[in-house]
Amino acid sequence: MELNKYQQEIFDKQRPVIETFGAKTWRWTIFFLFWILLGGYALYLQIAKGHKVTGMRDNVVWGLYIANFIFFIGISYAGAVISGILHILKVEWRKPIIRIAEMITVISTIIGPVFILLCVGRLDRLHHLFLYPRLQSPITWDVFAIGTYFAGSVIFLYLALIKDFAIYRDAKLNIPKWKQKMYKILAIGYRGTHGQKRHIRISTNLMAIMIIPLAIIVHSVLSWIFGMTLRPGWHSTIFGPYFVLAAIYSGTGVLIMAMWVYRKMYNLKSYITDKHFVYLGYIMMVLGAGYGYFTFSEYLTDWFASEKWNSEVIEKLFNPAKYGWWFLFANVAGIILPIFIVAFPKTRKPVWITIASFFMVIALWVKRYLIIVPTLESPLLPMQDTRMEYVKYTATWVEWALTLAGVATFFLFYTLLSKFVTIIPISEFAGKDQPVVTARDISEENEIVPA
Amino acid sequence: MKQEEEINDKSRRDFLKTAALATIATAACGSLTCSCSSKKAAVSEKVKLLSPDGEIVEIDSAYLNYQEHMAIVSKLEARQGIAGKKFVMVVDLSRCKNARKCVAACQKWHYRPEETEWLTVKLMKDSDEAAPYWFPKQCFHCDNPPCVKVCPVNATFKRQDGLVLIDNDRCIGCKFCMAACPYSTRVFNWSDPHTPYDVTGIASNPETNIPARVGTVEKCDFCPDRAREGMLPPCVEACPNGVFYFGDENEDTVSNGDETLSFSQLIKDRAAYRFQEELGTKPRVYYLPPKDRQFPVERGYENLPEKLKARFKDVIESSKNEIN
């Protein structure tokens, strides 16, 4: 594969990253593995002793795990928005960050469903989902939707990688044989012929179009697990779009954080520019406003109509002695903070936008928890139970350990993958005289850091 | 024992399963254990039986023992239900004094550990001004069951005789049905349910749900295994005040063990209602309003052990304040 001047420059910069593993990476890997092992032990306990080691009981049948499930599937929308929407709109500045986004998508789509499996009492019977599937059940919809979405995301990531694999294959990298071999296999004989280029282009376009409806379906179906039940706080018609929007929103936040980490870690300032943060900040602001609108609309209607059963949940969310502070945090950090940070030019800087993203992502996790638990703690019939753990949900260390293990797995996969492929796609710069970002940004003012 | 050695493990398990179907054939035998080591001297005649998997198996009649709780139908039949029936329950709230005999009978019959109740008695108070009343609650066996709709593996299902049952051999334990049921009817086996030894070997059947399985959902089943034998559910039989009427809507009769009444007449005369009709679940349990109550509500509270008292304390106290 022939590389032009700019491609060569990007490649040379990233070459050491994929050629060596490094002591630092080892340390991180071991750190992540430690948490995963702890999670493994928690999982062993949960399987051996039953789900009584969790905080879940007959009233609150779902807890942290489901919140994590929604959260991880939510952040997987980073790829859907960047690769899908921006690809169709032919937004050129997306190119240096597409791989970061798509890697988030694929990895979190692997981890998300694991959390729903942790809720399942009989993991030994999972094959029943395929032996006796019932199409009426939103869980069956979920199995098919997430399965398709995952396949789509992997294909999408892979399509964008084929050209790069060919570059790694031909670059005579100083790497072990197995790695060389893998690049060769994964490049599937790509030589950059006219036909091959055309095939990749058409497939990528097709996948970009398909990934958007798929993403919408996945989170709608996921929200319907709740929306289809007769439960206050869940049985809401706006749950589909509300969840989809929240998902894209949190995905954008995670993408911004990942960009910041990589920019710092590998000194990629000339490729992941301040402009990227600002543009994604704008997207985040718009999504935040939309998400805020949905939130307001949802709770205003429930509160105003004040139906008895709904009011019980609303009371729990508004009461500072119950979930009031968390609800306030979820809305301040999840809606107001990002909007203001991006709105003011003074704070419209990468570091601030990243901080806002960080709090927003946490707030959205809290929001998912607040969707699940207070509703389940408000059954229609009075609980009249003397067993406190049945009345109020408190997550146990087992659930926290598995949650942390999920986060650690995310980081571990991300670390390993970034040692295997370059974070900034090289082939995307092909055929241009200059790196695409700067070419696009020439007309912009001096905020840009020149390449 | 010599005989025992001749039988390999597989056939042994088979016969334990098959014994479920042998109930009628050997009821006369009278032995109450299912253990295969019971002293039967010689190998007598062979009996052909239909196994729960639908296979015809031939086993030695010496191994047939009476076993309480063995479902007498196959799993397939258990999914279809009893033809021509439409089970219905009427609960007379004016007679309930929280004697809790129904709860005890249910727990015993189904080998439920303490506090994991299929049948619960709630103390209801509809509004601040309203007087509290005792409210026994089984599964409502809804005609539009929200739980059945959401089950991803068809482990819980609606039968032609109106019952909503669970196949605990198929349930994957996702608990979606528990989230979907607005009446908090379903319970989950959060840990090993510690089934007593004498029922551990039984093949589970949706009509009995015995033995219970860890990691699966279960609930009140209206005891169809007893209905097949023409018996009332244990809760109905155990109630000292005749609160529960169980019967068949098609026959238009319900009985509490003491009296048998016309179902349609009863619900008409006594202005029966279904709990939370507005949810659209169409329950098969009707409540007769707590009018002209036979017992003061405190009667069901005063003599309870402290642990149980704690459940109802708030309601009792709030209603006391109003009287004063």
Q: What is the pLDDT of residues A163-185, one digit of tens each?
A: 999 999 998 888 899 999 999 99
Residue A390 lies in a domain: yes
**What's the CA gap between A154 and A105, in Å, rounded?**
9
Residue A376 lies in a domain: yes
- Residues 281-320 on B with a CB inside 8 Å of A are 281, 307-308, 310-312, 315
Q: What is the three-class DSSP state of B92?
A: strand
Query: Tell me, what's the pLDDT at B222?
Result: 94
Look up the ipTM and state it. Answer: 0.88
Residue A169 lies in a domain: yes
Confidence grade of residue A151 (pLDDT, cut at 50, 70, 90): very high
Whether residue B150 and residue A380 make contact (CB cut-off 8 A), yes or no, is no
Question: Which of B152, B171, B215 faces A134 most closely, judged by CB atoms?
Answer: B152
Q: Which residue has the higher pLDDT, B268 or B58?
A: B268
**What's the CA gap between B244 and B285, in Å, rounded?**
10
Whether residue A50 and residue B214 make contact (CB cut-off 8 A), yes or no, is yes
A119/B contact by beta carbon, under 8 A: yes
Closest of B268, B159, B273, B278 to residue B222, by C-alpha: B159
Contacts of B124 in chain A (CB under 8 A): 382
**What's the CA gap between B274 and B93, in Å, rounded?**
12
A263/B contact by beta carbon, under 8 A: no
Distance from CA of A153 to the nearest CA of B (A): 25
Q: Which residue has the higher pLDDT, B266 or B71?
A: B266
Residue A432 predicted with pLDDT over 50: no
Residue B39 predicted with pLDDT over 60: no
Confidence grade of residue B189 (pLDDT, cut at 50, 70, 90): very high
- The domains located in chain B, with CATH, are 2-67 (no CATH), 77-288 (3.30.70.20)
Q: What is the pLDDT of residues A266-277, one digit of tens each?
A: 888 888 999 999
Domains in chain A, number: 1
Domain limits for position A34: 5-433
Whether residue A121 and residue B188 make contact (CB cut-off 8 A), yes or no, is yes
- Residues 64-123 on B with a CB inside 8 Å of A are 115, 120, 122-123
Closest of A335, A360, A345 to residue A445, by C-alpha: A345
Confidence grade of residue B67 (pLDDT, cut at 50, 70, 90): low
Closest of B241, B235, B190, B180 to residue B213, by C-alpha: B190
Mean pLDDT of A255-259: 94
Distance from CA of A232 to the nearest CA of B (A): 10
Residue A439 lies in a domain: no
Q: Which residue has the higher pLDDT, A407 or A448?
A: A407
* Bridge partners, B217 (sequence order): B188
R_g (Cα) of chain B, nearest Å: 22
Distance from CA of B266 to the nearest CA of A (A): 26
B172/A contact by beta carbon, under 8 A: yes
- Per the document, the length of chain A is 451
Residue A277 lies in a domain: yes
Confidence grade of residue B43 (pLDDT, cut at 50, 70, 90): low
Closest-approach residue (CA) in chain A for B174: A120
Q: What is the pLDDT of residues A280-298, one digit of tens each?
A: 999 999 999 999 999 999 9
The CATH code of the domain that includes A214 is 1.20.1630.10
Closest-approach residue (CA) in chain B for A381: B183
Query: Tell me, what's the pLDDT at A441?
Result: 43
Confidence grade of residue A426 (pLDDT, cut at 50, 70, 90): confident
**What's the CA gap between A250 and A363, in Å, rounded?**
9
Question: Which of B115, B172, B180 faces A125 most closely, judged by CB atoms?
Answer: B172
Residue B308 predicted with pLDDT over 50: yes
Confidence grade of residue B145 (pLDDT, cut at 50, 70, 90): very high
Distance from CA of A313 to the nearest CA of B (A): 14
B277/A contact by beta carbon, under 8 A: no
Query: Tell me, what's the pLDDT at A442?
Result: 40
Residue A279 lies in a domain: yes
* Bridge partners, B165 (sequence order): B157
Residue A440 lies in a domain: no
Residue A120 predicted with pLDDT over 90: yes
Query: Tell me, what's the pLDDT at B264?
Result: 96
Whole-model pTM: value is 0.87
Q: Please answer whether residues A291 and A249 qualify as being in contact, where contact means their C-beta atoms are separated by less than 8 angstroms.
A: yes
Closest-approach residue (CA) in chain B for A388: B311
Closest of A240, A143, A123, A225 to residue B150, by C-alpha: A225
Whether residue A125 and residue B170 make contact (CB cut-off 8 A), yes or no, is yes
Distance from CA of B43 to the nearest CA of A (A): 39
A50/B contact by beta carbon, under 8 A: yes
Residue A293 lies in a domain: yes
Mean pLDDT of B270-291: 95
